[in-house]
Amino acid sequence: MNKQIVEMENLDLPKTFTDILDLLDDCVFIVDKNGYFVFYNKANERLDKLDQEFVIGRHLTECFNLNQHTSITLNVLSEQIPILDAFQDYTTASGHRILSVSSSYPLFNKKKELIGALTITKDITRFKKLMNIVNKESAGEHIANDSGAQYTFNNIIGKSPLLTKSIKIAQKASKTDSPVLLYGETGTGKELFAQSIHNESGVRGPFISLNCAAIPENLLEGILFGTAKGAFTGSVERPGLFEEAAGGTLFLDEIGSMNPDQQSKLLRVLETGRLRRVGETKERVVRVRLISALNISPIDAIEQGLIRQDLFYRLGVVTIKIPSLVERREDIPMLTEYFIDHYNKAFKLNVQGVSTEVMKIFLEYNWPGNIRELRHTIEHAMNLVENETIEKEHLPFLLFERLKMKPSKSVEQIVDIAVSEEIDEKGMDLKTVVEFVEKEAILSVLRRNEGNINETAKKLGLSRQNLDYKMKKYGLTSTS
């Protein structure tokens, strides 16, 4: 702007004028003489992750962690002279940190009375990060992402059609901030997808992940939503993960472990963009991209009561299935090569590959632990290998134990002849037969594992939550 003193009749801005300002790439806002927003353009929305409806009518200090001394706009209102090209480092009400170069101009009416201020902001956050990357590359340093997300889509190994389809959907989803629900068996790489979506999106906030099943139920609410001092014995004033992840991504794994009351509170946060810390009545604005994950399909989770149906519609705006390793067997050779290369570097070895016999085993095995189990298998073998080729004798004993289990024979052993006798004597519809077989199978494997529910779930290829549901359905316990 050439004129450093701007004259206006009043702050009633014509729609044509505001429409033009909304088209600008630069951020422009106008406050009245008391510091309350009267205009806030679209570029500001994109930069600050704050809605126009939220900002208009609020005081500048309500929307940014600035005060009379740190805000150039408030300084301009006080001194009534322009401030040009000033560096500002501030945080928005959504927790979004912004680095900018801003210029602010006082606005006067024809009587030379102050009526407000106009501020133009250029975002330099990306530029500053880019310079840091360039400096690190020049120094030959390894670049690490300080957001907490280290993986990108380039780290997802495989070319199978199912995997490629999932990646394409995830890449499209990364262009918006809509909630994403990932589902797939344990060990398929759901967090890898979550981190890739975060990094592809270009958001500047942190990536924070939490496995809901790993947190005691009575602590989960406080960890997610924060606590007020005195809310319960020993509680302190502490922000929750939603606040910690402001301006970034919060990844909640095994979200079906949350109880219905916690799910209800999560639904409210997603619908309103506001939360209350435990023991507090004050509402806080949060702007977070939520990615969640399940080990079973959403339909099964809803039917089993693990996820509220209304919550699913908010969580799964974009729903992505992560294929199991069995569904993408053609990727096994590529993954095997990748993990061998990884452990060659880690262990300072020179293993060239696996034998033909080992690859045949890999391609026939059902991989209940998916990619995580394949990685474990390769690492195990790399500890034992003595030459340049991984042989059958280098593989874990457990893998061969599982290879001996034939599904058809296992079912026959579990159900035995009793099923056919039961059907002949009493008569059963197909649904009842299936339920009878399922109950007997669970009971047999449960006894074989001496009541160990985690091991039973692994043997049956179920998630812990899914097995708990089925045991409750059939009235089974660990001592049955």
Q: Could you tell me if 360 and 375 lie in one domain?
A: yes
Q: What is the pLDDT of residues 151-164, one digit of tens each?
A: 999 999 999 999 99
Percentage of the chain lying above the pLDDT 90 cut: 47
Is 140 part of a structural domain of the chain? Answer: no
Question: Which of 354, 384, 404 marks a domain boundary?
Answer: 404
Q: Could you tell me if 223 and 348 lie in one domain?
A: no
Question: Which of 355, 370, 404 marks a domain boundary?
Answer: 404
Is 142 part of a structural domain of the chain? Answer: no
The band of 125, judged by pLDDT with boundaries at 50, 70 and 90, is: low
Q: Which residue has the higher pLDDT, 456 or 362?
A: 362
The band of 133, judged by pLDDT with boundaries at 50, 70 and 90, is: very low
Q: Indicate the average pLDDT of the chain.
A: 83
45: domain CATH number? 3.30.450.20
Q: Which residue has the higher pLDDT, 216 or 42?
A: 42
Q: Could you tell me if 89 and 193 lie in one domain?
A: no
Compute the CA torsion angle 393, 399, 405, 406 (nearest 10 deg): -90
Q: Could you tell me if 315 and 343 lie in one domain?
A: no
Please tell me the total count of domains within the chain. 4
Q: Which residue has the tokens 């007997």?
A: 440
Is 480 part of a structural domain of the chain? Answer: no
Model pLDDT, residue 410: 44
Distance CA 1, CA 18 (A): 17
Neighbours of 119 (CB within 10 A): 23
Q: Could you tell me if 314 and 244 lie in one domain?
A: yes
Question: Which of 273, 298, 321 marks a domain boundary?
Answer: 321
Is 134 part of a structural domain of the chain? Answer: no
What the block records as the tokens of 270 is 């997603």
Is 166 part of a structural domain of the chain? Answer: yes
Q: Could you tell me if 117 and 26 lie in one domain?
A: yes
Q: Which residue has the tokens 């496995």?
A: 211
Is 418 part of a structural domain of the chain? Answer: yes
Model pLDDT, residue 382: 96
Model pLDDT, residue 94: 64
Q: Could you tell me if 426 and 454 lie in one domain?
A: yes
Q: Could you tell me if 109 and 199 lie in one domain?
A: no
Is 138 part of a structural domain of the chain? Answer: no
Q: Could you tell me if 239 and 380 lie in one domain?
A: no
Model pLDDT, residue 320: 98
The three-state secondary structure class of 335 is helix
Q: What are phi and psi of 29, to 5 degrees?
A: -140, 160
383: domain CATH number? 1.10.8.60
Q: What is the pLDDT of residues 300-309, one digit of tens each?
A: 999 999 999 9
Q: What are phi and psi of 232, to 5 degrees?
A: -155, 170
Q: Could you tell me if 253 and 303 lie in one domain?
A: yes
303: domain CATH number? 3.40.50.300
DSSP character string of 251-318: EEESGGGS-HHHHHHHHHHHHHSEE--BT----EE---EEEEEESS-HHHHHHTTSS-HHHHHHHTSE
Model pLDDT, residue 1: 44
Domain holding 317, by residue range, is 153-321
Distance CA 50, CA 40 (A): 10
Q: What is the pLDDT of residues 248-306, one digit of tens each?
A: 999 999 999 999 999 999 999 999 999 998 888 888 998 899 999 999 999 999 999 99
Give the lowest-confidence range in 62-71, 120-129, 446-455: 120-129
Is 175 part of a structural domain of the chain? Answer: yes
Q: What is the pLDDT of residues 8-32, one digit of tens each?
A: 556 677 777 778 888 887 889 999 9
The predicted model gives 457-461 an average pLDDT of 80
Q: Could you tell me if 158 and 270 lie in one domain?
A: yes
Neighbours of 268 (CB within 10 A): 14
* Burial grade of 394 (CB within 10 A; 0-12, 13-18, 19 or more): buried
Check: CB of residue 324 under 8 Å from CB of residue 367: yes
Q: Could you tell me if 191 and 303 lie in one domain?
A: yes
Q: Which residue has the higher pLDDT, 424 or 229?
A: 229
Model pLDDT, residue 186: 92
